[in-house]
Structure 1
Amino acid sequence: MVERTTLKRSLGVWAIVALGLGYMTPTVVFDTFGIVSKLTNGVVPTAYLVALVVMVLTAISYGKMVKAFPQAGSAYTYARETMGPHLGFLVGWASLLDYLLLPMVNALIIRIYMESLFPNVSVWIWVISYVVLVTAINMYSMQSTSSVNMILVVFTLVLIGTFLILATFQFANGMGEGTLLTINPLTNGNMELAAILTGATVVAFSFIGFDAITMYTEEAKDTSTVPRAILLTVMIGGLIFFVASYFTQALFPDVSRFNMLDDTLPEIGLYVGGQVFQLIFLAGAFGATFASGLASHASVSRLLYVMGRNGVLPKKTFGKLHPKFRTPVFTIVLTGAVSLFAVGPDLELIASVINFGALIAFTFVNLSVIVHFYIRQKRRTASGTFKYLIMPTLGALSTGLLWSHLHADAFIGGLVWIVIGVIYMLFITKFFRKELGSMDAIEDDSVVSEVFKKKELVVGSTIEGINLADEEIVKN
């Protein structure tokens, strides 16, 4: 008989919050500032406020669903369990789009960082070097703990705090608005609702990661704290994004000073603190982005492996482990190959494409609350109607509103991806004559199935959790 091992319950509320913040990468607010400032006509903090309201509503719905389904913390699982396997598959397929592209975004940001420091070096050098390094580390597996993640988050917050202090000195010297006591970063004569919503679709990318907290249910000291941790992560992350973007918008009322709008972090560091601070700022952002890249690369490669083991993807290629490394080398290399495309596209387009899948997932999490609690369980008292119908309806409508304001090219690309998913579903089900397997479960009743069901395999999983899964495979 195979001995089954469960994950150690060692994470408190703040450890889980730190993991969520670490995956969100708080410095991304500076990366996308130029893009969003141009889109919103100079009211980036307002776009973050709109996105925060949407994310809070969705975070509340995630909290409800993680209690109902504590062993399957992902949007596609919630949709499958409440609305059927076929719709669940399509929600999962849409989510897979942003899972696959998240590692490429990290490669793209690293490329821009290095390009700003070494403008005469070919971007191919940085992209290939980064992708090869991250792919190799994932092939050999790695170890990480929540303590290391906590250190990374604290360091990032210290950097942002240092930026705020330096910005205050710059205001005293007359830079930008010359004062913090101004409403111009929030509203101005050029502000338009459509522009703010479009900007909010881009900054929604900054929040991706809070939903990954659902996967830590198995490692939480008390599972009842997970919904609280989800909401805390969104609120703290939103506060960081708002304050940082407010200071930055007050320093740079327009984008005329920036040479590269695709990623303004290097220039922001230079203008606010000089070359020394720019290097420190870049080093901190580089480290945070690299860590996020490792986690996202590892997560999506394991997710693809799970889908291969389950037969949703071809088993012979996706469902195999390397005999020596005991890691899903094919899916790791495939993820690396996708990341190589970071040479070409701009950050705005890729962030919008990622949000296409993420916002679909968020919408269906809200709808799942309505179906599960209000329709199936008939919780229709006055309190139940507010919690299980009105609140998630507002969440679904708001995420849907952001989704409708996505970048046009991203919208087209996302719809093409959905069409491919529908065709693929028809193929594997033989036009619905065959049962559709689960995207987050493995067929055989083994320790592999038990381990890979866990949430740590969804995007944003801890590297420690991934390694525990690898170790269980090796042992059994």
Structure 2
Amino acid sequence: MAQQRSTLKRSLGLWAIVGLGLGYMTPTVVFDTFGIVSIQTDGVVPLAYLVAMVVMGFTAISYGKMVRVFPSAGSSYTYTRETMHPGLGFLVGWSALLDYLLLPMVNALIIRIYMEAMVPDVPGWIWVVLYVAVITGINLWSMNSTAKLNSFLVVFEVTMIVVFIVLATVRLSQGMGQGTIFTLQPLFHHGVEPVAVLTGATVVCFSFIGFDAITMYTEEAKDQKTMPRAILLTLVIGGAIFFIAGWFGQSVFPNVDNFKVTDDTLPEMALYVGGQIFQIVFVAGAFAATVASGLASHASVSRLLFVMGRNGVMRPQRLFSYIHPRFHTPAFAVVVVGAVSLLAITPSLELISSMINFGALVAFTFVNLSVIAYFVFRQKRYKTVKDVLSYIVLPLTGAGLTSVLWAFLHADALIAGGVWLAVGIVYLAFLTKGFRRKIGDFALEEAPDADYDGGPSDGGSGSDTLLAKGAAEPEPDLIS
């Protein structure tokens, strides 16, 4: 059978990609988790976000470096596969799937919870089916349409955050909370412990997941050279929204004593600063944020499944690597993600949420290590101070800071991730006939795109690697 020659369509500009990243990050989550983080940090929520943004910044730099060398939709899976070993790359990709596959399900579950609260007489499963059908259909139809709808929803939710800030300013001028925005109390006050801030930072770090996921859209970017900039812009803009919203939230609510529910403070925060009408509108903004995250997360994980299918490590290979000839989307992978999302009919949010962070930390760790593996061990770029700083110090710092997050990871996430990884090892043993066969031999004989030049990995087939021409040349100062 001849290889399907259709390819992903390069239709995404810089800001469309940034919008997808922001949609994935869900900016309104700062209000949902405000109560939890405020308690953990002793009332310095914005400081926790600032620390988290710095921690994530080192890993974002590593993503920017690797996406220039391997502009593939496979992200951390491809980087590890091509710089270290195909088998290890598979396990990294498999681990990342735990995070990326579950997030669309979490969004479907949140929508179910919202709708059950508003329309209790309608069975929850109906809302899950309708939501998943719409999100799957949009992702199947067009990546460009997905990006446009996502951008609209992101603009709406950010507008709601701006309105909240304006209303909070009015309340502060009336003497509510700190009584002024010109105070350092949200950043530091007596009794704040560094360990408490770090604990809070480990929680909010996962709000930044999204800057990494946009690397899945590399093969659909109009200009793949914009990807490093898109990664940093997503991180900085998202971090700024979190910080500013957290600052005003903490100024108006120095503590959580007046909240009836601290596990999700968004509705009450909106009520206290703007009244019932604003509460309704603000919750609608949170609803829009969830849909935007659903669109972006569904799109990104389907690209990862597609690339793994193209490499032959997801079976049936021809189906996972299939691109619809008219829509230019990975049709089968999109439908599979939709099918998995339907599982949101029954589980609890707490159960699923406890499992999603394992894969993200695996991806972050190995992206940083991939920088060292490629630039230091393959390119031998360690002879100047700049090279040592760029390709050893920065990625090692990123890996080290990620290890701190590992230390604070919930036990349930470690257990679920360990079981998932064990399943992946068994599956890999099956694919390689007891590890006797090279995993690179599974890739489709023909590259799906003329830009594919073959990769440097040992045993790799070259069907996935999009080696950027001149990748060994020095990078722009933005990333270096």
What is the TM-score normalised by the length of structure 2?
0.82
Residue of structure 2 in register with 1:429 after alignment:
432
Structure 2 letter corresponding to 1:359: L
The answer on whether the counterparts of 2:80 and 2:366 sit within 8 Å (CA) in structure 1 is: yes
Aligned to 1:470: none
Instruction: Show structure 1 runs of 5+ residues with no match.
Output: 456-476
Q: Which amino acid aligns with 1:422?
A: I
Equivalence for 2:295: 294
Q: Describe how 1:65-464 pairs up with structure 2 within 5 A.
A: 65-114=66-115, 117=118, 121=120, 125-126=123-124, 128-137=125-134, 140=137, 141-143=140-142, 144=145, 146-301=147-302, 303-304=304-305, 307=308, 311-315=312-316, 319=320, 327=332, 331-332=336-337, 334-341=339-346, 343-346=347-350, 350-380=352-382, 381-437=384-440, 443=444, 445=446
CA deviations on 1:310-340 (whole Å, 9 max, x unpaired) are 55344299759899x9645872453124333
Residue 167 of structure 1 and its aligned partner are, at CA, apart by 0.4
The 3 A distance-change label for structure 1 pair 50 and 289 is: same
Query: Which residue identity lines up with residue 150 of structure 2 in the other structure?
Result: N
- For 1:412, the aligned partner's letter is I
TM-score by length of 1: 0.83
- 1:454–1:320 CA distance, 2 compared to 1 (3 A): closer
> Do the aligned partners of 1:318 and 1:331 also contact (CA within 8 Å) in 2?
no
Displacement of 1:427 after TM fit? 3.2
How far apart are 1:6 and its partner, in Å?
5.0
Distance in 2 (CA, whole Å) between partners of 1:408 and 1:176 is 36
Number of paired residues? 445
Instruction: Measure, in 1, the Cα distance between the counterparts of 2:317 and 2:212.
Output: 31
* Residues 405-457 of structure 1 deviation map (CA, whole Å, 9 limit, x = unaligned): 1123222322232233223323332331122259xx963537599999699xx
Q: CA deviation at 1:164?
A: 0.2
Moved more, 225-234 or 414-423: 414-423
Paired residues of 1:302 and 1:331 also in contact (CA < 8 A): no
User: Is the contact made by 1:360 and 1:400 (CA closer than 8 Å) also made in structure 2?
Assistant: no
Q: Distance in 1 between matches of 2:389 and 2:208?
A: 25
How far, CA to CA, are the matches of 2:10 and 2:111 in structure 1? 34
Partner residue, 1:64 = 65
- Deviation of residue 305 (structure 1)? 6.2
Distance in 2 separating the partners of 1:67 and 1:9: 16
Taking a change above 3 Å as real, the CA distance of residues 453 and 339 of structure 1, as seen in their structure-2 partners, is farther
Output the CA distance in 2 between the equivalents of 1:375 and 1:317: 34
Could you tell me how far 1:52 is from its partner in structure 2?
0.2
C-alpha displacement of 1:82: 1.0
Alpha-carbon distance, 1:204 to partner? 1.7
CA, structure 1 residues 322+337, in 2 after alignment: closer, same or farther (shift >3 Å)?
A: farther
Is the alpha carbon distance of 1:217 and 1:241 closer, same or farther for their aligned partners in structure 2, counting shifts above 3 Å? Answer: same
For 1:286 and 1:165, locate their aligned partners in 2 and report how far apart those are by CA, in whole Å. 21
Question: Retained in 1: the 8 A contact 2:25–2:210?
Answer: yes
CA contact (8 A) 1:80 1:88 kept: yes
C-alpha separation between the residues in 2 aligned to 1:359 and 1:338? 24
- Counterparts in 2 of 1:224 and 1:310: CA distance versus 1, 3 Å: closer
For 2:27 and 2:413, the matched residues in 1 are separated by 24
Structure 2, gaps ≥5 residues long:
453-462, 467-480
Partner of 2:456: none
Shift of 1:77: 1.0
Distance 1:10 1:337 in 2: 29
Shift of 1:170: 1.2
- For the residues of structure 1 that align with 2:381 and 2:98, how far apart are their CA atoms? 34
Report the alpha carbon displacement of residue 296 of structure 1 after superposing the two structures with TM: 2.4
What SS class does the counterpart of residue 210 from structure 1 fall into? Answer: coil
- Bigger share in helix: 1
Shift of 1:208: 1.1
Q: Distance in 2 between matches of 1:263 and 1:175?
A: 21
3-state SS of paired residue (2:123):
helix
Q: 1:190 to 1:415 in 2, by over 3 A?
A: farther
Question: How far apart are the structure 1 equivalents of 2:377 and 2:312?
Answer: 32
Residue pair 1:72, 1:454 contacting (<8 A) in 2 also? no
How far residue 374 of structure 1 moved from its aligned partner, in angstroms, is 1.5
